[in-house]
A and B are shown apart, each in its own frame.
Chain A
Amino acid sequence: MKHSKKELIKEIADLFEDYQETYVPGEWESFSKTKKKKYPFAMKWISIAAIFLLMASVLPVLFNKWSADKKKDALAILKPVVKNPAADSGRNKVKGSDTAAGEVAEIESHPASGLKSVPVISAPGLKNSPDSIASLNTAQSILAEQKSAQEEYAKVSVKPAVKAEVLSAGAKTINKDTLTSGKRGQLSTTEFLMAESRNSGQVLKKKESGSRWDFGLEVMPAATSANVNIGAGLTTAYRLSDKFSLSAGISYTQMEAGGIVPQQGGGNTAGVRAFSEKKILSVDANLKAIDIPIALVYKLNKHFYTSAGVSYFNVVSEKRSNTLEQNSSVDTKSFDPETGSLSTFKTISVEQVDEPVTEKRLKGNSYIGFFNFSIGRQQSLFNKYKIRIEPFVKIPVGKLSSEDLKLTNSGIKFQLSF
C-alpha cells in the first residue's frame, strides 16, 4: 500500500483519532473486584450520614412536643438556689477568708456525575448522509478483519520504534478505523468537539460535583462567660445545590458555665440584716453533653460560607456548685488595752463558701438546644481535604434559655473534611 505523504502532526492526529488497544483478558474481572470493594465503603458512609440527618430532623420535632408537655413541670422544679437546706452546710468548705465585718456586697446578675448526564449530540445533518452510511458499511466490513489485524499488530508493535522500517511491512494490518472509514472518524470527532466546546465551561464545576457528601472531624474551643471549653466531633454535609448544603453532626462537649444569680429578698439596704443569712454569689456548672447540630449552610463564595441551624443538646453529666456569701454573727472578745478588762463585741463575719448542689436540672432533659450561627472560611488541602475555620455563636433556646445558667457561648470550630 502506497503511503500518502502528510505532515507529521496531521498524521499523528489522524492516527490517534480512533486508535484503540487490544483488550487484555482479565481486565473486566479485576475491575469487577475493585468495583465491589468500592461500593460497600460508600454505602457505609452514606448510611452513617443518613442516620445523622434522620436524627437531626426528627429530634427537633420531638423536642417541641415534649417541651410543650413538660412546661408546667419545669416551672415547678425551678426554685431559688438560696433555699438549699441548711443541712448541706455541714459539707461546706471555706473558700475565702473573712471579709470586712458588716460589709455587704451587692451582686449584679447577668446565648454543602459522576458526570452529569452528558447531552448527546445527534447529528441530524449527518445521520442520513450517504457518505457516512457508506463509510460505516465499509467500516463494518473490515470489523471481521480487525481481530486478526489487532493480533498481528500487537505482535508487531512490541518491537522498538527504531525498527519502523521493519514494521512498515505490516502496514496493511494497522488497526485504525480512521484510515478505512475517514468520514465516520471525522463525524465522531466533530460531534465530540462540539459537545466539548459546549460543556467546557462546566468542566471544573462538574469536578466539584463529584460527590455531594462531605465528612469531617472537628474540634471547637469555645468560651462561655465563665470559662473556656472544648468539644470535638464528627460532621457530615450534603450539598443541596451549588450554594446551599445541609450539615449535621455529633460532638461531645465539656462546658463550664456560670449561673444567673437569683433575685434575693430585699433588706440588703435596710441597714440591718438578719444574722446567719446566706446570700448566693455565683452558680457554676460543669456539663458534659452530646451536641447534635443540624444547619443550613450558604456558600458566599469559593472560600467563605455562613451557616445557621439548631442543635439538640443532651446533657450526660452535670456538676453544679454555688458560691455563697454567708453572714454570721460572731462574739468577739477583746481586752481593752487601757483598762485590761475583757469586753465582748457582736460582729458579723462574712464568708464565701462553695456548696455542691446535688440537684441536676439538666441531666436527662433532652429537649434543650441551641441556635447556632457561624461564618467560616474553607481552604483546600492536597485537593482531597478541606480545612475549615469557623467562628460560631451558640444561643440557648427552649429549656436552656430559661435556665439559671449562662450557656451562651462562642468559639472557633476547626474542621478537617474529606
Chain B
Amino acid sequence: MDNKNTMFREIIAGLAARDERIQERIYIHYWGYLMGISTRYFKDRNAAKEVVNDSFMKAFKTMYDFRHDHDLIDFQKTFKAWLAKITVRTSLDKIRANKSVLTYIDEYEEGTVGYVEVEEKLFAEDILKLLHGIPDLHRTVFNLYEIEGFSHDEIASLLTIPVSSSRTYLTRAKQKLRELYKKSIEITDETF
C-alpha cells in the first residue's frame, strides 16, 4: 500500500518535473491494464501489443500536461481512466485503418438462447476465447457497448455504421457468446 502510494507520488512528481525517467514506471505499472483492454479488441496478441505501445507513445507525449488536483486517490483513478480511453481510441483507430477486419461478418443462425446464468466463476482467459470466437465487428460493438459503455449512436459514429446495425451486431454478439458459453460448459461436463 505504502509502496503503491510512493509510486504514485513519484509519478506525480515526475510529471510535474517533466522527467522522462518516469515513463518506465508508468509503462510497467499500466502495461497489464492496457493489454487487458486491447486483447478484448484484437485476437492477435502482437496487434494488441502494438496498440498498447502506440497508446503509451501518445500518452507520453501529452501526460506532462495531465491536469489533476494532486489528490493521490483521485489521480490514480483519473490517470488510469485517461490511459484506458487512449487505448480504446487507439484500438478503434487501428480497426478503422484495417477496414477489412470489419467488412467480413460470419453469418450464423439466429439462436434462441435468451438468458444464460453463470454457474461458476468466470475467468478472463476463457471469456477472451469466447469473445475471439465471434466476428470482429460484433466483438467490437459488444466491447464498446457492454464494457466501455458507449451508446449505439456513439458506436455508429465511431465505426461509421448505421445505428440499427450497431443494435443488431450487439444482439448477435450476445447471442453467440451465450451459445459458445453453453457449448463450453457442456464440453466440460462431458469431459468430467
Q: Which of A19, A23, A193 contacts B28 (CB 8 A)?
A: A23
Closest to A31 in B: B53
**Cβ–Cβ contact B117 & A192, under 8 A:** no
B81 contacts A162, C-beta separation under 8 Å: no
**Given A136-B73, A143-B1, also A3-B120 (CB < 8 A):** yes
- Interface contact A162-B188, CB-CB below 8 Å: yes
Whether A106 is near chain B, meaning CB under 8 Å from some CB there, is no
Decide yes or no whether B96 CB sits under 8 A from chain A: yes
Contact B62 A115 (CB under 8 A): yes
Cβ-defined contact, B74 with A122, below 8 A: yes
Which of A3, A19, A141, A189 has a CB less than 8 Å from the CB of B36?
A19
List residues of chain A with CB within 8 A of the CB of B35: 20-21
Instruction: Find the B residue at minimum CB distance from A1.
Output: B121
| Residues of A contacting B40 in the complex (Cβ-Cβ under 8 angstroms) | 16
In the complex, identify which listed stretch (A5-13, A82-90, A358-366, A367-375) lies at the interface while the others stay far away: A5-13
**Residue ID in chain B nearest A383 by CB atoms:** B97
A101 at the interface (CB under 8 A from B): no
Closest to B154 in A: A200
Known pairs A24-B31, A176-B124; list 17 more (Cβ under 8 Å).
A3-B121, A7-B115, A8-B117, A9-B178, A13-B147, A16-B124, A20-B36, A23-B28, A32-B24, A34-B53, A118-B85, A118-B86, A143-B1, A168-B120, A196-B88, A196-B154, A206-B89
Q: 1/0 contact trace for A102-116 toward B, CB 8 Å?
A: 000000000001111
Pick from B56, B66, B120, B130: contact of A120, CB below 8 A: B66
A197 part of interface (Cβ distance < 8 Å): yes
Best-buried of A12, A31, A123, A195 by chain B (most CB within 10 Å): A12
- Report the minimum CB–CB distance from A48 to chain B (whole Å): 21
A8 touches B85 (CB 8 A): no
Tell me, in angstroms, the Cα distance from A7 to B178 when the chains sit together: 10
Interchain residue pairs with CB less than 8 A apart (25): A5-B118, A7-B115, A9-B146, A13-B147, A23-B31, A114-B57, A115-B62, A117-B62, A121-B78, A122-B69, A122-B78, A157-B124, A162-B188, A164-B185, A165-B120, A165-B188, A167-B121, A171-B120, A174-B123, A188-B80, A192-B81, A195-B85, A197-B151, A203-B89, A203-B157
In the bound complex, do residue A22 and residue B117 qualify as a contact, i.e. CB atoms below 8 Å apart?
Answer: no
Within the assembled complex, what's the spacing in Å between the Cα atoms of A254 and B8?
A: 63
Instruction: List, in ascending order, chain A residues with CB within 8 A of B56's CB.
Output: 31
Inter-chain residue pair count (beta carbon < 8 A): 206
- Say whether B28 contacts A28, CB under 8 Å: yes
Q: Which residues of A contact B80 (CB under 8 A)?
A: 188
Q: Is the CB of A161 within 8 A of B126?
A: yes
Interface size class of B (residues with CB under 8 A): 35 or more
Chain A residues near B129: list those with CB within 8 A.
161
What 1/0 mask marks residues of chain B from 17 to 45 whose CB sits below 8 Å from any chain A CB?
A: 00000001001100111011001100000
- Given that A9-B146, A161-B184 are known contacts, is A19 also in contact with B124, CB under 8 Å in the complex? yes
Check if B77 sits within 8 Å of A164, measured CB to CB.
no
Instruction: Give the interface residue-count category, chain A.
Output: 35 or more
List residues of A whose CB falls within 8 A of some B CB: 1, 3, 5-9, 11-13, 15-24, 27-28, 31-32, 34-35, 38, 113-123, 127, 132-133, 136, 140-141, 143-144, 153, 156-158, 161-165, 167-168, 171, 174, 176, 184, 187-189, 191-193, 195-197, 200-201, 203-204, 206-207, 383-384
Interface residue SS majority, chain A: helix
- Measured between alpha carbons, how far is A322 from B95 in the docked complex, in Å? 63
CB-based nearest B residue for A163: B188
Chain A residues contacting B191 (CB-CB under 8 Å) are 162-163
A9, B119: Cβ atoms closer than 8 Å: no
* Contact in complex: A113, B174 (CB < 8 Å): no
What CA separation (Å) do A208 and B150 show in the bound complex? 21
> Which of B40, B119, B121, B126 counts the most A-chain CB atoms under 10 A from its CB?
B121
Counting chain B CB atoms within 10 Å of each CB, the highest count among A19, A123, A197 belongs to A19
- Name the one of A5, A22, A119, A120 contacting B32, with C-beta atoms under 8 angstroms: A22
CB-based nearest B residue for A206: B89
Task: Name the B residues within 8 Å of A383 (CB-CB).
Answer: 96-97, 99
* Residues in A whose Cβ lies below 8 Å from that of B131: 12
Is B158 among interface residues, defined by CB-CB distance under 8 A?
Answer: yes
Q: For B115, what are the chain A residues with a Cβ–Cβ distance below 8 Å? A: 7
Complex: how many Å from CA A19 to CA B119? 20
Using A23-B31, A200-B157, A203-B89 as known contacts, say yes or no to A17 and B147 having CB atoms under 8 A apart: yes
Q: Does B116 contact A (CB under 8 A)?
A: yes
Q: Which residues of A contact B123 (CB under 8 A)?
A: 153, 156-157, 164, 167, 174
Chain A residues near B71 (CB-CB < 8 A): 127
The answer to whether A16 and B177 touch across the interface, beta carbons within 8 angstroms, is no
Of A28, A120, A188, the most chain B CB neighbours within 10 A belong to A120
Name, among A15, A140, A197, the residue most crowded by chain B CB atoms within 10 Å (CB to CB).
Answer: A15
Question: B104 in the interface, Cβ–Cβ < 8 Å?
Answer: no
Tell me the bound Cα distance from A176 to B115 in angstroms: 24
In the bound complex, do residue B77 and residue A187 qualify as a contact, i.e. CB atoms below 8 Å apart? yes
